[in-house]
């Protein structure tokens, strides 16, 4: 059992993965951890997460239409 590797999840990656609005989450994470520098955040994500480039351009979630009531 000496070859077991324990991987700690990075709180930045967890926070970004759990967010619904990726663009605003990236802005908030850049403010919170990287002194409001989004380029440093993007460099960090490129080093630590292979899926970081497709986070904002993900079109799998379509916006919902507003429900309107007819009275």
pLDDT profile of the chain (71 residues), mean per 10: 66 88 92 92 83 49 73 75
Q: How far apart are the first and last CA of the chain?
A: 68
User: Model-level pTM?
Assistant: 0.57
Question: What's the pLDDT score for residue 65?
Answer: 75
What is residue 53's predicted lDDT score, i.e. its pLDDT?
Answer: 44
pLDDT of 9? 78
Domain locations in the chain as residue ranges: 11-54
Torsion angle of C-alpha atoms 20, 22, 27, 28, degrees rounded to 10: 30
pLDDT at 61: 61
Ramachandran bin of 35, using left for φ above 0, alpha for ψ from -120 to 50, beta for the remaining angles? left
Q: What's the Cα-to-Cα distance from 26 to each of 18, 36, 51, 59, rounded to whole Å?
A: 12, 10, 14, 17
Please tell me the distance from the alpha carbon of residue 15 to that of residue 71, in angstroms, as a whole number: 42
């Amino acid at each position: 059992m000496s070859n077991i590797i324990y991987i700690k999840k990075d709180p930045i990656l967890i926070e970004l993965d759990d967010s619904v609005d990726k663009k605003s989450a990236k802005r908030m994470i850049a403010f919170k951890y990287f002194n409001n520098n989004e380029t440093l955040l993007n460099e960090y994500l490129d080093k630590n997460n292979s899926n970081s480039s497709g986070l904002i351009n993900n079109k799998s979630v379509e916006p919902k239409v507003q429900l309107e009531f007819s009275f």
